[in-house]
Structures are given as structure tokens and as C-alpha cells.
Structure 1
Amino acid sequence: MTNRKIVIDHSPGETRVATLIEGRLAQMFVERASRPWVRGAIVNAKVTAVRKELGAVFLDLGNAQGYMDGPSKYTPIEGQSVLVEVISEPRKGKAARVSQNITLRGNFADIYPTETGYSISRKIKRKTKRSAIREFLISNVPSSVGVHIKSTDNSSDFTLIKKEIDELILKWRRLEQMTASNGSPKVLIPSPGPIGFAVKKYIDQEIHEGKNGTLFDDFAIDFQIDKALERKVSIEGGAEIIFDELEALVSVDIDIARFKTAKTQPLRLAECLAEEIFWQIRLRDLAGLILVDFPRLKDIKIRENFVRLLKKLSKENDVSLVVHGWTRTGLLEVTRPRIGLTLHEIFCGNEIGGLEAMETLGLKVLRLLIKETPGMALPQVVCSPQLRTMIQATLGESLKEVSKKLGKTVTFVDDPNSGHELFHIRNALEA
């Protein structure tokens, strides 16, 4: 059985959740105090503008701005209240994407109150089991509600599943009542945050929970994050894959010049490339238009095998990756829905070359203050003026939290000659 873990870290100013497969970092979910999650929230939103020429409706979500594609059945009017679910996080000044197709998620099943029909996880493969689930759904679930059955250890326990579906339907009825009795905009169900999202997505996983980066050190997660922020990735055999996140697309370039067995084991080459590119797309949370520049090899079966493996990995791992095919210039066109910031955008912002963003560095300083300064009389941070300003202003509330835990005030000394990524912590009495 594959060894899978969810590792949760609570630190001043942020919550980080990592999923590991056989010890390797597979996915990251991060929420910061400066940017709370809205994804997954259900909101009684207020329509602020209807732009028919754009086919879009803009809404006030209370804690963020949202937009949705113009509904096909009817067009809401300005000032109207609309019940929506937030599908994606705001990004680069753009509003969060929302939908009127609500999903209420459970551990064993999800329900879609505004849709009909049912679906069963593709991971449940036995025909007899799928047939039994279908019969159960037809007999026990109202035809007016859509249902999806997940693949879990309890997917055959129909008593447990029915209880959860009934609870979710009751939750929906209460939501309808709240919508009628509350004004807008109002958040009716808050976002589950990174922890809730990861636990619901990866059911039956081994969970480890800690504070201040200790578990991330134990599982070498910070090291793996740093590696994932690099452009180049080396794979078995010596080939390199280069990832470039551009404004309009993601470019994936493949260099097989150093791949020692490219000619003698071409199918192995395709397999290695498909596995690593899929892994990196999921880990880096790459989305939108992705163009893969695959090597021009004589045997066309090699690239066909590459595409087949990429589709297979996407299906097996429940990742919404759409492989459209080859362009006239020989590039493989792939798209993936965007639901949040990429790993690079979270940790590096607009910095080039994998340098950590100022906020990321500030949060690292706060973690280290808690881990390294207990017993230190007067903890002091020596850093650039820019980093000091970030910690004292943007992360001010988190700094107060750290000082309270330490029972002493943290002081700062500016080092104008220090690069923004450099800092050190010392005892002011020994300076």
C-alpha cells in the first residue's frame, strides 16, 4: 500500500498543509493571515454589476469580490441576492470565481442540491460494488438532488453513507432558510481552509499536526519546497525539464541531451517525462494554458505513449488535467482549471529566480524566533530595513503573538548592506 501522509503546520501568520506520497512532497496548501482562504465558502452574495457584453456577473462576497459567467437560465439584476459557492481564490487583482452550482462535501459523499443524477468515484472499480451503490442511490436519495460517492474504506457501509447524505440535505434546507432570512452579502458557510480542503480531498490519510515548522523539518518539507521553486528539474537518466511561469501560459521545455539511454530506451524516457511533468504540475499548482515542448524524435509512438501516460496519471490521481493534443508547431497543449495561486506565487510573489518573497521571509523569521530564542534574554533580529518593515507592519499582529509567547519584546536592527533575503537572530545583550 502506498504510504501517504498529510502534514499540518500551525505557525504565526500562516497555516501550511503538505501531502506526502512515499515521503515525497506531492501538494501544498497555504493560508496566510494576510490572505485568508475564500475557496469553498458558500455566500449569499449581492450582485454589483451585470456585464452582458462580457457574459459575466460581478458580486460582492462580503470579504472579497467575485464574478461568475452569465447564467444561461436567467440574468440577475443589480442589487439582487444570489447564493453562490466560491470556486477559486482572487489572484493578481482579479475577482474570485464563483458558481451557483453548490456542492456540499462530506467524508463519504458530496451532494449537488441544484443538480440531478449521481456519479461514483472511478477508483471504485468492482462492477458488483458499483452496481450495489447505484441501487442504493436510486432507492434512498431524492431524484431532485445530485450525489457523488467517494472511494473510501467505508464506501460499502450504506447505513453510514445514508446518514451523511441525509445530514447534507438537511444542511441545504437550512441554507435555503438562511438565504431567505439574511441580507447580503453574508458568508453562510466559511471556507474550510487548507486543512479542511486537504482532509476532504485525501480521505483516510495518515495525519500529522504540529507547530512552528517542527514537523516540516522532520519530514524535510521546507527543503522540498525550495527544490520545487527552482526552474530546472533533473530526472532519472540525466534529462532536464524547465518550467517557466509566464503571464499568459506555462512553458515546459525538455532537454534530453544528457539522457544516456534516450535512443536505446525511448519508452522509458516517455514514462519518466510523463511521471515527472505530471508530478510537478500538481506540486507547483500550475494551471491555465500549459505548453509542453516535447523532443522531436523519429518514432512518433514515443510521444503518443507520453500523452497516454499523462492522461492516465491525471485520471488515476483525480487531477483535472485536459490534454488537447499537438499544435502545428509540435507543442503539446494542456489546460487545467485555476483555483488558487501557484506555489511560486505563494512563496516568491513577483521575485525572479526562486528568491523568496518578503512576506515568506518575514514568516520564516517569526517561526525561527519561537524555535530558537526561548531562554534568550533579549531576542533581536538583524535584517534589511525592507524586511523589518514587512515584519513590523504587514505581520504586526503575528509579531505581537510571537512576543506574547516568548514573554518578551523582539527588537530589530537595520543592516542596510544586507540583501533582503539575509537575516540573523541574536541576543541583544551579547551584541
Structure 2
Amino acid sequence: MKQLIVHCKDQVTQMALLEHGRLVEYTVERAEGTTLVGSFYKGRVVNVLPGMQAAFVDIGLKKNAFLYVDDCLHPHLEKQPKEKPSITELLKPGQELIVQVMKEPLGGKGARVTTHYSLPGRFLVYMPSADYIGVSKKIEQESERSRLKHLGEAIRMNEEGVILRTAAGDESHGALESDIQYLRELWLKIQERAKQAVAPCLIHHDRNVIERYIRDAFNREVQELVIDDERQAKQLLAYVRTFAPELSNRVHVYRGRDSVFERYGVRDKLNKSFQRKTWLHSGGYLVWDQTEALTVVDVNTGKYTGTSDLEETVYLTNKEAAEELARLIRLRDIGGIIIVDFIDMSSEEHREDIVHVLEEHMKRDRTKCLVVGWTKLGLLEITRKKVREQVMDRMYTLCPACEGTGKKLNSFPT
């Protein structure tokens, strides 16, 4: 059973996804700080750096956006030149172009942008000039993959590209046709706005957090969507009726005295899930440490002593930790490199099983993840696509005393 819980208060919107009562996704968006990923800008090239094979583009933000040479070439790899051209052959200072944000400004870096445009719909991702058909890897049945590829070819025009999303499984030709037609018209509007706009400026902003979540996560598997704001509920219901009228009866307005997060236990689940030390049901625990370059997780047996031998105790703790890791990485929206120090196991079969458990549970994550494997030191490497500021960074304020180290430097002896 899946439930989407939406809490709106003081210009802040919070959304939580529960699976069988367990919190698996959480996002928060403030009215003044909406996400930029997916938005289109008309930008102006400020400078071109052949040594970096990149350009900096003014899109109207505090820091110029970064455009790498690969994001200027044709989206289809087979249509790219065999020898990569210099960025100076593709872009000139002062040149104006449409770019799309693919990664938020993070830390001291500006946004990462691309000219490989894409517009996500409910069932597919529309790419105006990619010239290829893709199908979500999460659709594993070969007959269904083949059917969707044929439908993709049937509905696309000229050099358009289409990626059929997981939600497209078992959907009809008419549903996919309607989706791509809406996105095609949206792309034409973006192009028209760009012609009339003066660079640098925003020409299309992706939907707000509620509508994005509805588009990407509200499907037949979600039994109910509960929201505690009457005005937002009306807008949300109107949006649902446009693309999934069969799901409109699953939208409910919460009118209780307590917060909707309190009513569904989301607040307590958040407090437990975002601690530096998170406990497992068996008595083991995880310790999380985040650096600028990567996230490190240490697995410990804690209070769990097992019932038979040491190897079995260690294996069971690691297995439970792997399941919880997949959930918490998704919940905390951790991106980049993740290093996990599992408890040492002597059995190669157990080590392989831990990787398998992680991979299976990470399939539920809508963000691209990869379990790289074990290092020579017995650490497990994982990567997860980083596109926006992590939830942890929005939830915590850097300590002014220790500046994030957790320790305060004493004065050195004189």
C-alpha cells in the first residue's frame, strides 16, 4: 500500500511517500526557493574555455551556468562526430541559445545546463531532436519492451526522440499519443517564447513540487493522496483530472486538528530517519558522515548478538543494513559517491548476496543508482545521480562553532 501525504504551511510544501507505512521519499520546497532542474532559459555565452572543453553561460542567476562540450553535440551518440570538435567551433562569446538546467547550483558552483532538451510527461519523456526510442530498464518483460518500442516509433515525428517511462507499461496507443502531443505543443510554446525573449531570462519553469510528484509518482499503485490545504487541493484535483481522471477519487483533503504529518506518523519517522546514527530493528545501527566529496556509512552490530555463529550474525546484520540503506539513501536524496563499510564477512556468497539485496531494493528508486562493487579494502561503492541540493542540506544549518567538523579546534600550545 502506497500513500502520498502533502503538508502545506507557511509558504512551505512538504511531501512524503509511504510504502506499507514506511517512509521512503520526502521532499520540501519553499515558495521562494523552487527547484531549477528541468527549467529552460534563454542564455548568452559569456566565455568559452577550450582547455576545459566547456563554456559559461549567463542565464540570469548569481553564477553563470556550466555547459560542457558533450551537451552541445547531437543527443544521439551515433550522430556525433567520430572526433570530438573543440568547444570553440560550437560556441562563440555573445552567442544566444536555449539551455535546460540538468543540475542545480550546488555549493560554489553554478548550474549545469545542456542543449539536450527533454520534457517529461506521465508516460514518456519527449526529446525534440534526439532521434531515438528508449524504454525504461525497469520494464523487464521483453514482449512489453518490444511493444512500447513499436508504439514509440508510431507516435514520434521526424527526428523526435522518446523514452517510454515505467508508467507506460500496458498503456494504450491513445494514451501515449495524447502524452506526446501535449509535450510537443509545450515545446513549440517554449521556442516561441525564446524568439521574443531577451537573454538572459527564464522561458519555462518546470512544475511545482506537488505537480511534479503527481506526474512522476501518483499512479495506480498509490491508494490515496492526502493533502491538508483546501486551495492547493482544488488545483491538485484539477491537474489530476487532466491527465489521470481515473485517480481523482483517491485525492482526499485532511481537515483534522493535528498536522497531517502528525496524523500519519510522518514527523516521528523523519526525526528517526535523519539522525546521524540510525538504529536497525535487530539492534544494529548505521552511522552516517557526509563530506564534500562523498557520503560514508558505517555498519555496526550494536546490541545484536545473534543466535548461532559470528558469520551468520554479521551476515544478517549486513543484510538488514543493506535494505535500510537503500531506503534511507532514497529518503535523504543522497547523491554522488557513497561508501559503505559493512561488517567484514568471510563468505564470498554472503558478500555477493549483500550486493544483490542492495540492487533489488534500489530498483524502487526513481533516481539512477549503481552498485559499483567491493573495493580491495572490503568497502562497498555506490553512486547515485546528483541533480539537486540534498534534503539533508536543507534540513540542517552548518554549526558556526565547528563549521561542520563536529569538533572545535583548541588553541595550539605557545
| Interval of TM-score (by shorter of Structure 1 and Structure 2) | 0.7 to 0.9
1:29·1:198 contact (CA, 8 Å) conserved in 2?
A: no
CA change 1:59–1:153 in 2 (3 A) is: closer
Does the CA-based 8 Å contact 1:270-1:302 persist in structure 2?
A: no
- In 2, the alpha carbon distance for the partners of 1:147 and 1:93 equals 34
Q: Structure 1 pair 268/298, CA: closer, same or farther in 2 (3 Å)?
A: same
Q: Does 1:253 align with 2:301?
A: no
With the length of structure 2 as denominator, give the TM-score of the two structures: 0.78
Deviation at 1:251, TM superposition (A): 0.8
Opposite residue 117 of structure 1, the aligned amino acid is Y
Amino acid at match of 1:21: E
Show structure 1 runs of 5+ residues with no match: 354-431
| CA distances 1:227-283 after superposition (whole Å, capped 9, x unpaired) | 222111111321111111112211110112533335336654443121111111111
1:67 aligns with 66
Deviation, 1:173, is 2.7
- CA contact under 8 A between 1:113 and 1:146: conserved in structure 2? yes
1:209 match: 227
AA aligned to 1:69 is: Y
Partner of 2:196: 181
Alignment-derived partner of residue 243 in structure 1: 288
Deviation per CA, 1:343-369, whole angstroms, max 9, x where unpaired? 22111121499xxxxxxxxxxxxxxxx
* In 2, Cα distance between equivalents of 1:248 and 1:133: 39
Give me the whole-angstrom Cα distance separating, in 2, the residues matched to 1:190 and 1:26: 27
Q: Residue 39 of structure 1 contacts residue 193 of structure 1 at CA under 8 Å; is this kept in 2?
A: no
Deviates more, 1:30-39 or 1:203-212: 203-212
Please tell me the residue identity of whatever aligns with 1:221: V
Matched with 1:227 is 272
Alignment of 1:310 onto 2:358: yes
Corresponding residue for residue 5 of structure 1: 3
Among 70, 82, 95, the alignment partner of 1:80 is: 95
Equivalent position amino acid for 2:188 in 1: R
Number of aligned positions between the proteins: 351
Q: Indicate the residue corresponding to 1:160 in structure 2.
A: 175
Correspondence for 1:277: 325
CA-based RMSD: 2.5
- 1:374-413 paired onto structure 2 within 5 Å: none
Extract unaligned runs of 5+ from structure 2: 74-88, 230-256, 402-414
Quick one: which amino acid aligns to residue 47 of structure 2?
A: A
Task: Give me the whole-angstrom Cα distance separating, in 2, the residues matched to 1:138 and 1:52.
Answer: 38
Contact 2:341–2:379 (CA<8 Å) still a contact in 1?
A: yes
Question: Are the aligned partners of 2:13 and 2:30 in contact in 1 as well (CA < 8 Å)?
Answer: yes
Q: Deviations over 1:269-320 (max 9, x none)?
A: 4431211111111111111121111221211221211112222222343431
Read off the aligned partner of 1:208 and give its amino acid letter.
V
Q: Say whether the 8 Å CA contact 2:152–2:164 is kept in structure 1.
A: no
**Residue 352 to residue 254, structure 1, CA distance change in 2 (3 Å):** farther
Q: Retained in 2: the 8 A contact 1:45–1:83? A: yes
Query: Aligned pair 1:118/2:139, yes or no?
Result: no
Q: Answer yes or no: is the 8 Å Cα contact 2:5–2:16 preserved in 1.
A: yes
Deviations 1:334-390 (A, max 9, x none): 22221122222111121499xxxxxxxxxxxxxxxxxxxxxxxxxxxxxxxxxxxxx
- 1:178-234 alpha-carbon deviations (Å, 9 max, x no partner): 323322122121132321222222131332211498211212222222222211111
Contact kept in structure 2, 1:267 and 1:305, CA below 8 Å: no
Check the 8 A contact 1:117/1:143 in 2, yes or no.
Answer: no
Contact 1:314 1:321 in 2 (8 A): yes
Q: 1:169 aligns with which of 154, 178, 184?
A: 184
The amino acid across from 1:298 in the alignment is S
Distance (whole Å) between structure 2 residues aligned to residue 161 and residue 139 of structure 1: 10
Distance in 1 separating the partners of 2:325 and 2:139:
26
Identity in percent: 24
Question: Which AA in structure 2 matches 1:330?
Answer: G
1:321 matched residue in structure 2: 369
> Deviations 1:368-415 (Å, cap 9, x if unpaired)?
xxxxxxxxxxxxxxxxxxxxxxxxxxxxxxxxxxxxxxxxxxxxxxxx
CA gap of 1:226–1:352, structure 2 versus 1, over 3 A, is farther
> Could you state the TM-score of these two structures normalised by the residue count of structure 1?
0.75
Partner of 2:105: 90
